[in-house]
Amino acid sequence: MRSGGKGTLRKRVLWVMGLVALALVVAACAPHASQDTLKPQGPYAREIKSLFIPVLWVAAAVFLIVEGGIVWIIVKYRHRKGRDRMPAQTHGNTRLEIGWTIAPALVLAVVMVPTVATIWDLASKPPSNAINVTVTGRQWWWKFEYTDPDMKTAAGGQIVTANEMVIPTGRTVYLTVTADSDPGAHTTDGLPGFAVIHSFWVPELAGKQDAIPTRENHILMQADHPGIYHGQCAEFCGLSHGIMRVQVRAVTPQEFDAWVANQKLDALTPQPGTLAATGMQDFTGGQCIVCHAIAGIPNATADAGPNLTHFASRGCFAGCLLDNQNADDIRRWLEDPAAVKPGAKMPNYHLSPEQIDALVAYLMSLK
């Protein structure tokens, strides 16, 4: 092949690679991204951003100086036709070497001051009016237990929810983040154990925290305004890791009190003779209570699956993949959980369409 042909081929490959890179960059753009650390919606997330931005600028300056120097040297001292002589070779330069040891040390020392201050600050004890919630990563959904003494339910336990965590605006939430620690303990069907590491991250409200079996990590969370804030598991945890989402619903303090009051109540019992009442019978008489708790129903206290006491009061289920207010979503889930969510730890019970209709009616009545 002639050398000219090789040159154009190489150029073409470069062009294609450049376009692919550009396409990847453009594909990463989202105008209304809901998991944006750069748009903090609470004081703790804001604190992280106000550390990130200056450190980013310092890093950008270092990058430009180092890479700029490399490019400049490559261009300046590149091999040129008719210039075969070696440039002057230098070995050792004490002044330069001391300089490029001290300069990075200084840069790091400067960056360290706000970094350490922020770390201490975010690791400090929460204010005394903080709400305590234990977040447990399960395969593949998040469990939230409100552990404060004033979060006791009528049935004697604590308020427990799944997938959607409700918090009041303007108040610190002190999260204890952990993961299922008992491999196999929650399986009744010989399914594999669940003790794996997850990571809890709702970028607009708080930092990211690993959820590790048998360990307890803490983070502080707070929201300025009412709204829905999205997050998802940030540590690969198995088949449905990619759809292990979570949502935080921030509400006004008054709305929060009303929510708490409702969550403390036992589950509603459907009117006799209704479809929902049939669903309740299917639920308590069938497999469901082997894994799911519903406060107020004797024996329905299992913790292998999400607590369903107030299922219909939540905005999303099954890793925030589906909508609790949508009968078709619930139907799809009951028909075959693993078809909706690969590897789902809820088995397919091959329910009849009538059973499913009744169960959907019952679940949707659990406000």
Question: Which residues of this protein are in contact with Cu ion, per CB under 5 A?
Answer: 198, 233, 237, 244
Question: β-strands 173-179, 131-138: how paired?
Answer: parallel
Q: Which does 159 bind (CB under 5 to 8 A by kind): ligand HEC, Cu ion, none?
A: none
Q: State the nearest-atom distance from the C-beta of 189 to ligand HEC, in Å.
A: 6
Residue from 168, 207, 231, 319 binding ligand HEC (CB under 6 A): 319
Out of ligand HEC, Cu ion, none, what residue 157 binds, judged by CB under 5 to 8 A for its kind, is none
Query: With CB cut-offs between 5 and 8 Å by kind, which of ligand HEC, Cu ion, none does residue 233 bind?
Result: Cu ion
Instruction: Using the minimum distance from each CB to ligand HEC, give the nearer residue, 9 or 185.
Output: 185
- Alpha-carbon distance of 220 to 266, in angstroms, equals 30
The interface region with ligand HEC, picked from 16-24, 166-174, 231-239, 341-349 by CB under 6 A, is 341-349
Nearest partner of 313 among 260, 359, 358, 355, judged by Cα: 260
Locate 106 and state its tokens: 């200084």
Binds 249: which of ligand HEC, Cu ion, none (CB < 5-8 Å by kind): none
Nearest to 227 by CA among 282, 169, 283: 169
Residue closer to ligand HEC (CB basis): 252 or 348: 348
> Is 143 within 8 Å of 162 (Cβ atoms)?
yes
Give CA–CA dist 187/335, Å, rounded: 20
244 versus 260: smaller Cβ distance to Cu ion: 244
Q: CB-wise, 220 or 243, nearer to Cu ion?
A: 243
Binding status of residue 341 toward ligand HEC by CB under 6 A: yes
Pick 41 or 365: Cβ nearer ligand HEC: 365
Instruction: Report the C-alpha dihedral over residues 25, 237, 145, 339, rounded to 10 degrees.
Output: 90
Query: Of 42 and 305, which has the nearer Cβ to ligand HEC?
Result: 305
Among 188, 269, 299, 348, binds ligand HEC (CB under 6 A): 188
Binding partner of residue 227 among Cu ion, ligand HEC, none, CB under 5 to 8 Å per kind? Answer: none
From 128, 112, 129, 109, select the one nearest 120 (Cα to Cα).
Answer: 112
- Which DSSP string corresponds to 168-216? ETTS-EEEEEEE--STTTT-SS-PPP----EEE--TTTS--EEE-BT--
Rg of the chain (C-alpha set): 28
If binding is defined by CB under 6 A, does position 144 make contact with ligand HEC?
A: no
Cβ atoms 118, 214 nearer than 8 A = no
Residue 126 touching ligand HEC (CB under 6 A) = no
CB of residue 123 vs ligand HEC: minimum separation in angstroms? 31
243-272: contacts with ligand HEC (CB under 6 A)? none
